[in-house]
Structure 1
């Protein structure tokens, strides 16, 4: 840290205002000449520069989408997204849009843009290339979004007010036309693609329907409405089988009854219950009549009477006929039973075959459903495409542009450049700055005898200088808060409260001034800087001065470490490490004074953490004070009590310190604050010698 020049109470200013003003006054003609030259150049520029007019048109990007129908548009609007609105600025500034305006307005043949200027005249070259002219035109276009609104301002600069307004409006109209054209183009493109797709979709639907029909025919899957499905046939056969089984069971019952009845008279009597037969009925009636006649004849005639023989012969013949009829009926019932059994067997075989076909048809039905689903999906897609094609066809001419012109560019009345009211004051200010700079730089340097290197003194001068340096510099007198008879810790706490409480600004400023004066006496080197703070005779004043300087350095943003030296430290203090002093609030360590330790050097692990190290040494008058211990300190501060004699203190310093120690020493007086000045700090008395 370089040593700083200091006055009695503060650092010197960064620059001497008086010296600078003196230089400016001496160079006032240069300043006035620069101002005049700047104004002359500005007037010349105003005379030769063509005026430029700026016309601005305003667009509103309306995020609301006006719908004339409920159809969904092919190309939706820009939307309310802020990024989408901001991107429209780049759309308007795009090369394609500006190139269209460039060609429509014939800018390539406009002398304002196509003229090569002085450079083309000197080089004897022809007209400019189209790309160069377009870049000139492009630089005249300015598109900006008005804050975070939906308003976009399109500006154009030209040498003619009417041309500026016309081209600005042309850019806006081209943008709006492009938006509408994009939507119509999107509709046309979609319609064309849909038309190409519809034919393919119709072919897919036809193919899918044909596949379903072929599959039904191939697997004999009939329409359920026609009643010819396998399930209906199975149901019909099941009904027929049930009926056939019932008829077979009935025929079997009758056959069994007829077999059980036999051909006896009793069996013949049971025949009508089994089956109805007119022949049996006539034979039974004839048999009964002949039996009655035989019984009457036996009652009248003898057994050998011809009538009885005749009747018996006729009765036997009738019985034989009845037996033959009974056997015939039994055979008929058996035949019916066998026929019914064959019918049941045939129906069961058919039903089994149909059930087998039904199982195969179930697997075919799965494939049929898949084919139907495919056909239905193809038909659904075709319907959607046809509907969308019809919607997009009807949307032509119904879509409105979301960009609305809210401000048409009008020919400006006043040019935007050059503006004399702006150019002339700015030129005068620039000339003033240039003139002041030239006056300060070109002025000869002021003489500074107090800062010049001193000449080599002669022997008498060196003797006088040694006598002067034998007296340490005095930093003045400081009245510190706290009661005069109180201990050092209590007075340090009172001083710390004065730093922090309201009304202590004067005390804080005086302390910071003292800190600046101390820093000004230091020679720059890597941190930390070591300061010895000791008393001439009274130790409490040294502690008070050390606390005041440490708190002042801490208020100035420096890291401060306090080292207290003690001849007989209390047990545990030497190994306690760094602790915060309860009175001053500063980091503190305790070190013992040993005669053979050599110059004090701070531990390496602590040196990098602090900017200043304050050594609170023993009083100068005590025998524990060892000048060799403090040989490497940057500055030694010795405090005097208010009642101590400064001359006696100076003599004691010359006895205990060498010449270089006295050169690195300063003194200051520490006094107690008087009661009537409890709210203020006593000002410094005396100036530094």
Structure 2
């Protein structure tokens, strides 16, 4: 088998490194190729948007009422208010926005304007649909099951639910905004009626201001009620405190701070006298003990300090009578000292009792004074509190009729002259943008999901093999007419493409051109048989002897091109049942010999693996200049890889924009497993219209836009 060069041998590709970069030129090219899809999507989006804006959408009218917070208010009278005014900080501004959007305020608007009976806000008043009819039937059935109080309770719940739904609908149509760096609020309402929008906006502002006055009035009224009750309670407490102080004062001795101070001075004097008495007692006790302890005459005389005793001491020598008189006199002195000590102790005890009594009297009167002072202070405090609350009660009562709101209306809502919604120009612009985005998304998604080959460059980059031919669709209708078209229109694009394939195949090895050519594909229906016959017919134009062998003996596809083929063919020749000359057939207007397949139970793989087949091919090499073998698809049966062992060149056909990349990869991998080289690829059945649709019509091969000047269709 003659081998000839190829671009690159196919091998299972390794995972490619992901590239995060975006090829903007390729992206722009893809979008340009899908420009008609994008244009169609844009046109449809514009049509839908226009239909919605001009036909479906309900006109909405927007009205705005303006209100301002007043942080400084003039007082009619100089009285302290129960509810303070606004300070104007951001917290209060945000709080007032929420007050304007509160469900309580919106509920008052609903009640005032009777929006429950407005179909725009109450969906139950609109024309009921299928779902509403079914829901109503269920509700009626449930109502029939209940009776008496249960039905009334359910009705109340439904009424409350209906009112809540209307309030929610009103909230959806109201927007509150604060003008930056100001205390001004815009209350905007958007409904289906211009007058209704203005009326609702004014009602919201009016009720908001009225609500501020009501809040202050209610606060003042509550404060007045509370102050009235509190003043009454304080009056009772004051009377009770004063009575208690008066009763206590009448039950106790008249005391004062001055009297207590005099008693304290008496206690001080008494304590000094006690101290003096204690010293006297102590001295007397010392003298008495000294007298009693003395033994010597001189000591007794010195301690007694008695004149008579001194004289008697000088006369002790007169006799025993004088000594006895001295002792009697000394004992008399001791008795006198003892008597003085007793009197001093009695005085000290009396002074101490008097001091204790004075202290008790001071303590008792001090406690009474404290109690009286406490009762007096409680009465005074109650009186002060009573007078303060009485004053606040009179002030609060005077404020009930002079309350002012913290806001005022800057401008009432103006009835709009034109609807604010729908904004037709914006809808159309957004529809156009959305349509372009959807169209671009469809184009990019289709490009991402593309798993086939549309150009020879894609096929070569993916497989690493050379594309030898690009065959366009042959507008022949049925298969028998294909060869007739090529013969009748030798200057057509299809005929020139086959010549390009023949030229590329022959020039792939100039020194040793291939003689045995195998034609195969991944799966059936890719055009390999048509390419085989077209290539054979083209080789005949070079004056070569050509033999076409049907290698697909299971399907006998050549019978569809040449209905006159005999029923016996290559199987009979290889088995020896008939001669080659009897089996070969030359169809009319074809010029090449055709050896068809047979209907047989013989295993095709065993047949083509035999030495008889190899010998047969060698014999045919001597008879013909070119032998083209049309084989079954590679992914279906192994026949093609077996026959390839005797071939000089292998042409692998890929169906344009149809055969998946996985099918091509798997088929080429199977050839690579047996070390068989693919000579080249053929991109078959290319649609010129499809290539133009994808944006390739002016760039590639025989189906290029410039080919019309050279081809005759």
Normalised by the size of structure 2, how large is the TM-score?
0.43
- TM-score of the pair, normalised by structure 1: 0.44
